[in-house]
Amino acid sequence: MTLALLVSIAENGPWCGTHPPGRGPRPPHFLPSAHAEPEARLVEEKAFGPRPEPWRFGPSPEPWRLGVIEVGLYGAIALNQTGRIVSGPAAGGYASAASALFDETCGTVPLSELIWILLNRPPPPPPQWLNVLTSAGETLAFAQATDQEGLATAVNRQITEKLKAFGFQTEQAR
């Protein structure tokens, strides 16, 4: 349900990749705000003294965390969309791969933050594995639309192999 909702927001969202007119983009609460944290820290330091943070290295907010979430979110959306344009066992494979990717990378992120990413951040460049899977899905959709059974069978077999190679489990056709 959540992935389908996010796919519809990505496809029909009014400000996907930009921000609403008159407002600048604001980071979600899992990325600390540059304006709010120093004030809260001053109040805390006056009450309890300074706190060491030995576990935090590198920049704050952590850009790599947001990057992983973006790639997982937009990858799951692309796999879901590719699964809707094909039919047969490949459609189920794409749907289960999209669900697995979404659960793995975005499963613990609140829905409001995922919507914020869709509405305020442009999609990152797709990773190579996603390009391979989407181009194979588009080839399968072409083969199915033009009734080329030999090509469709070969591409369907290739999609199943690629989904297994990239670590996504596929449902077996019966």
Query: pLDDT tens, 20-60?
Result: 444 555 544 444 444 445 566 566 566 655 555 545 555 55
160 and 171 Cβ atoms separated by less than 8 Å: no
Residue 62 lies in a domain: no
- Give the structural domain span for 173: 1-16+67-174
Residue 61 lies in a domain: no
Burial of 106 (0-12, 13-18, 19+ CB in 10 A): buried
Report the domain count for the chain.
Answer: 1
| Secondary structure element (H or E) that encloses residue 163, with its range | helix 149-165
Whole-prediction pTM value?
Answer: 0.68
